[in-house]
Amino acid sequence: MWNHSFRDEKDTSGCAISGIMSETGKRFSSDLIMRSIANMRERSNGLGGGFAAYGIYPHNPDDYALHIMFDQPSAQEVTWQYLKSNCEIIGEEPIPTRPSEAIKSRPLLHRYFVKAGALLKERYYEENEDDLIVRIVMHINRFIDGAFVLSSGKNMGIFKGVGYPEDVGRFFRLEEHKAYLWLAHGRFPTNTTGWWGGAHPFGLLDWAVVHNGEISSYGINRRYLENFSYFCALRTDTEVITYLFDLLMRKHKLALEITACILAPPFWSQIQRKGHDEKKLITALRMVYGGALLNGPFSVLVGNSKGMIGLNDRTKLRPMIAARKNDMIYIASEESAIRTVCPSPDILWHAEGGIPIIGQLKEKSCA
């Protein structure tokens, strides 16, 4: 006999992700991404929401924009002294927000436009400026108590917090920004607490990641990344995805298709059925980059200054839908989230497990 103490409605598979991009680089307002992510409100529970936006700082295109949250003023002061010692600070200001009854217990939110400082360049003379900024981010997150870097890329920023995503967007006054690429996330945390630093997107340099699912290989991935001086400090498994993309594509200069094969490779039984050359390549990747394999159910959206990437786990245990209309590409957890902003796409399709969906920036525009 049915026990009526249990709910009879269908459980969703948690978290909402959405990404919208103009491949010609035309900047557009936050209205589309706000409506798209709000359409999937029931997939989140108010414990995390956020956005990444590319092209929002056209007046500082060559400066690293550090978005940082602080638990207390003392953390902000320590961070300021550290940045002054290691960076050339072009400008700094509070991140604009508006009062919101939906957003509780907000931290201090500040942004700094910086370049790597001369002393840091002299000390680590063999590293490029991106590497030096990564050092700065890792130091702040690990060693300055109560300070966490939300984003650190050029001409982009991450805005996130505890709340439903549409409330977080209004709190950060996103209607005042235009971007050629928007990512959004509505969180339903399962293994970690909902807190400001643990909300999505996660960022490093110009990488931003939103994720639905669970990275059960987190421990292995985390230890693997420490070999390359990436240290996870934000207590959410999505952090490893961000660092792996930076390691594989920026540091090791691997192609996107190779990176996808490392992160979500075929099973060994499938590899055995490949042709000789493909079998040899994938086997070598599994052996060299075994610690980078992402296990567990996931759908991931990745943004950077050159485009947007959608990637499912190899058995596609989380939903991901994509569509195109003219120069626009849409990727989301649900078809409804796309059709609410693009009712008649030119083409719409389901992602395949382990096969990346790619949106590529053709040219940048300041329109």
Rounded to whole angstroms, the Cα distance separating 265 from 300 reads: 15
Would you please indicate which residues are annotated as catalytic (active-site) residues? 15
Q: Residue 34's pLDDT is what?
A: 97
Neighbours of 107 (CB within 10 A): 20
Where would I find the H helices in the chain? 31-38, 73-86, 118-123, 129-143, 165-171, 218-226, 238-245, 256-263, 268-271, 276-288, 335-339
Q: Residue 7's pLDDT is what?
A: 44
Rounded to whole angstroms, the Cα distance separating 326 from 163 reads: 33
Q: Provide φ and ψ at 277, rounded to 5°.
A: -65, -45
Q: Residue 364's pLDDT is what?
A: 54
Q: Residue 128's pLDDT is what?
A: 97
Judge contact between 46 and 38, C-beta under 8 A.
no
Q: Which superfamily is assigned to 16-63+153-360 in CATH?
A: Aminohydrolase, N-terminal nucleophile (Ntn) domain (3.60.20.10)
Q: pLDDT for 206-222, tens place per residue? A: 999 999 988 999 999 99
Q: Residue 22's pLDDT is what?
A: 98
Q: Show me where the domains of the chain are located.
A: 16-63+153-360
Rounded to whole angstroms, the Cα distance separating 2 from 320 reads: 33
Q: Residue 236's pLDDT is what?
A: 86
* Residue ranges for the chain with pLDDT beneath 70: 1-13, 191, 363-367
The pTM score is: 0.93
